[in-house]
Amino acid sequence: MSGLASRIINLSTGAKKFGTKQVNFTALKHVYTLVQCTPDLSGYDCTRCLRLAMKKLPSGNKRGRVLFPSCNAMFEVYPFYLTGNTSTPLPMPVPPPPTPKAANEISIVESLQFDFATIEAATNKFSDDKKLGEGGFGQVYKGILANGQEIAVKRLSRSSGQGAGEFKNEVVLVAKLQHRNLVRLLGFCVEGEEKILVYEFVPNKSLDYFLYEPERHGKLDWSKRYKIIGGIARGMLYLHEDSRLKIIHCDLKASNVLLDENMNPKISDFGMAKIFAVDQTQANTSRVAGTFGYMSPEYVMHGQFSAKSDVYSFGILILVILSGKKINSFYQSDGPPDLLSFAWKHWEDGTLLEFLDPTLGDSYSRNEVIRCLQIGFLCVQENAVDRPTMASIVLMLNSNSITPPSPQNPAYLRTERNMPLSINEASITEVYPR
């Protein structure tokens, strides 16, 4: 059966992935086997699914079958398919009674779980030359699995305090989220004190890698930046309204937006987000997790977070993308104290184009720039109720017939000069709000 599985996984995505085989069990008895995957599965996903299915087949029986949503494996001592013809799979036999929900959840968890030895081998034992970066939640490494697939491995900090069961439950929920503007979560590993997330590998690093390095600015002309803003908005809309759950990111920033080979944005680190119940719109926390400068006033001051907290972060991110400046680049200057103040001053003075990243030259569309700035300022209003939803933002970005309303004075986070949070863009994982 393993040999049969190896034969079908090499078929291209979209092809009918199934196969049958008859083998001699004794001189007079035969065993008939069948394996099958749904056409949408890649060879790698088909392998993982069948491997799990075959592991669950009963031993010592004359027949056995395991039916998963995306694959199945079965054997009998009589021919249950047309022998000599494997061009078309026969209709599936009547499935057994529905598996209890708990058993289904266990199967999903097992299909997502990597063993630690596999992760170590993929990352060369987490060697420094495989390290991609480090954030508030842990270190990230590039890995290559035995089948050649590239992955990104996030080794979480051991101080998270989250239990293994809770961690697995959250991973299962997040793994179900799929959108072209989200980094896909492939699985996880839990062994001892190790908690690891396995993501798809996105080749072009993060948005800040291009924004903050002058020699790379040329790769982000206006059309690419506008496309990136729109893609981030669509990804956030999916998290807030279109997924099965209501997901609040809580740490949306330039370094948490990855770029694929076509410079399309993919939001990362939403697996660390607060997962809301369906009827919940706001929550309070005694620990603020995020990046100072991107966090909304109500989140920093009172620990209140909601979808509108993410909207605030998105507004700041628009200003970062347009200006090419870090949020902390004004800390030592005698001018405006922060990026938001700097942007608003140019808005009031009517010198908007002086706010733009000078490397853009004349490549921008003036109307699109003004539209983005207006939306950005609307997102950073002092009161959360005055900020638009992500659905409204996507509509305003995509429709020239809709004029964004004029923004009022934005929120200002006035902080002490000696407050260490304003010095860098590191994520805050355990800071008690004032």
Write down the domain spans for the chain.
2-83, 116-200, 207-431
What's the CATH architecture for 207-431? Orthogonal Bundle (1.10)
Tell me the pLDDT tens digit for each residue of 374-432.
999 999 999 999 999 999 999 999 988 888 888 888 876 444 333 333 334 544 433 33
283 pLDDT higher than 80? no
Regarding pTM above 0.85, the answer is: no
b (16+ CB within 10 A) / e for 279-301: eeeeeeeeebbbbbbbbbbbbbe
Active-site annotation, residues:
251
Two structure tokens written together for 429: 């994982």
Q: Provide Rg for the chain, Cα atoms.
A: 26
Two structure tokens written together for 314: 């998105």
Helix axes of 307-323 and 390-398: crossing angle, nearest 10 degrees: 40
- Residue that wins the pLDDT comparison between 305 and 16: 305
Element (H or E) spanning 391, and its range?
helix 390-398
According to CATH, the topology of domain 116-200 is Phosphorylase Kinase; domain 1 (3.30.200)
Assess whether the region 116-200 and the region 207-431 belong to the same CATH fold: no
pLDDT at 432: 32
Residue with token string 């839990």: 190
Cβ count near 203 (within 10 Å): 11
CATH class of 2-83: alpha beta
pLDDT at 162: 61
Cβ count near 433 (within 10 Å): 16
Q: What percent of the chain has pLDDT over 70?
A: 80
Rounded to whole angstroms, the Cα distance separating 354 from 347 reads 10
Which amino acid makes up residue 55? K
Mean pLDDT of 257-262: 95
